[in-house]
Amino acid sequence: MARVVAATAEAIEEAAEILRRGGLVAFPTETVYGLGANALDPVAAARIFEVKRRPAFDPLIVHVGDRAMLQQVVLEVLPAAELLIRRFWPGPLTLVLRRRPEVPRIVTAGLDTVAVREPSHPVALALIRRAGVPVAAPSANPFGRLSPTRAEHVARHLGDAVDLILDAGPTPYGIESTIVSVLDSPPQVLRLGAIPVEDLEAVLGPVEVTTVAHRPEAPGQLPAHYAPRTRLCIARAEEVPPSARAKSAYLAFQRAPEDGFAAVRVLSPRGDLREAAARLFDLLHELDGVGVERIYAEPVPEVGLGRAIMDRLRRASATES
């Protein structure tokens, strides 16, 4: 069975040792739980792909604990990246920069670039700093499935394959980091996430959102991704025929619909997009477990974090080809 332990200083020390020895540790970040390995150890990184059953073309995010570690993995920090780092690090923003040759190719899936971020979650930061190595970590879920926002999600779906799962309760943002490439001009947002586009533009000026890739450079860009097992549709309650409701669950934004659905969850009674983002994957995991034929999700306003929420709902509802 997977070992799930509370993220005490002692447990973090043990986890750091596991990472240094080439093992796999699942750990909380401010966005979602990550499945970590020493980013400079290609064999350890390969285990991540194995455990996630992740296609080899899919590059990993490298998590750093300070500037020195950043310098270990990237060739140079461009001025635009510098501005973003000062404003948003440590935090849920991932930057795509040119990789140093020391970063194993399996980590970057053969690309000349590497995605990096310094997480702000105290457990993640302590773990990386104690380990003393950059940590490659995708979200700790099987490929294409819902991201884990609790240690139980990791234990349930990846369990035995992970050496240790550090538990620090639900993750504060609940949605993945925003990914930006400043290698192009204007900068490209490759994945919508916890830092709203508006906040990036306040620092950088206009950016381009290119989150639908024709080649799978970022699988978070694939149309069908982040999916629950139950079929998901985006619809308002009024649009769901009464006859279908008994066999369906409903994910409401602010207010629960009158009745008829087998199960209902509300993202944010206050109508707050930050709270809605934090609860999104959690509630989808719950509704995925109630045994209905379909989950209907109400659309949310597409401003700020609402854009990332709608992006995830659209991908989760896209049927796989």
Q: Which residues bind Mg ion (CB under 5 A)?
A: 139
CB of 176 or CB of 298, closer to Mg ion: 176
CB of 113 or CB of 268, closer to ligand TXA: 113
CB atoms within 10 A of CB 223: 13
Note the residue count of the chain. Answer: 321
What helix, strand, coil percent values describe the chain, rounded to 5?
A: 35, 20, 45
Q: Least CB distance from residue 193 to Mg ion, whole Å? A: 11
In the structure, how many helices (H) and strands (E) does the chain have?
Answer: 11, 15
Binding site for ligand TXA (CB under 6 A): 29, 31-32, 34, 58-61, 92, 94, 96, 108, 111, 113-115, 137-139, 176-177, 179, 190, 217-220
Do the beta carbons of residue 199 and residue 36 sit within 8 Å?
Answer: no
Q: Least CB distance from residue 112 to ligand TXA, whole Å? A: 8
**Could you say which of Mg ion, ligand TXA, none residue 177 binds, taking C-beta under 5 to 8 angstroms by partner kind?**
ligand TXA
Do the beta carbons of residue 195 and residue 189 sit within 8 Å?
Answer: no
**Could you say which of Mg ion, ligand TXA, none residue 32 binds, taking C-beta under 5 to 8 angstroms by partner kind?**
ligand TXA
State both tokens at 304: 């700020």
Among 216, 202, 78, 229, which Cα is nearest to 145's? 229
Separation CA 66–CA 142 (nearest Å): 29
Q: Least CB distance from residue 181 to ligand TXA, whole Å? A: 7
CB atoms within 10 A of CB 246: 11
Q: Least CB distance from residue 189 to Mg ion, whole Å? A: 16
- Burial (CB count <10 Å: 0-12, 13-18, 19+), residue 89: buried
Q: Least CB distance from residue 185 to ligand TXA, whole Å? A: 16
Residue 121 Cα to chain centre, angstroms: 14
CB of 139 or CB of 149, closer to Mg ion: 139
Cis peptide bond upstream of 79, omega within 30: no
CB of 60 or CB of 297, closer to ligand TXA: 60
**Could you say which of ligand TXA, Mg ion, none residue 300 binds, taking C-beta under 5 to 8 angstroms by partner kind?**
none
CB of 30 or CB of 298, closer to ligand TXA: 30
**Could you say which of ligand TXA, Mg ion, none residue 248 binds, taking C-beta under 5 to 8 angstroms by partner kind?**
none
CB of 46 or CB of 235, closer to ligand TXA: 46
CB of 139 or CB of 177, closer to Mg ion: 139
Q: Least CB distance from residue 226 to Mg ion, whole Å? A: 7
**Could you say which of Mg ion, ligand TXA, none residue 108 binds, taking C-beta under 5 to 8 angstroms by partner kind?**
ligand TXA
Q: Least CB distance from residue 59 to ligand TXA, whole Å? A: 3
**Could you say which of ligand TXA, Mg ion, none residue 61 binds, taking C-beta under 5 to 8 angstroms by partner kind?**
ligand TXA
Strands of the sheet containing 93-98, edge to edge, are: 4-6, 164-167, 25-28, 33-38, 135-136, 61-63, 113-117, 93-98, 178-181, 188-191, 208-209
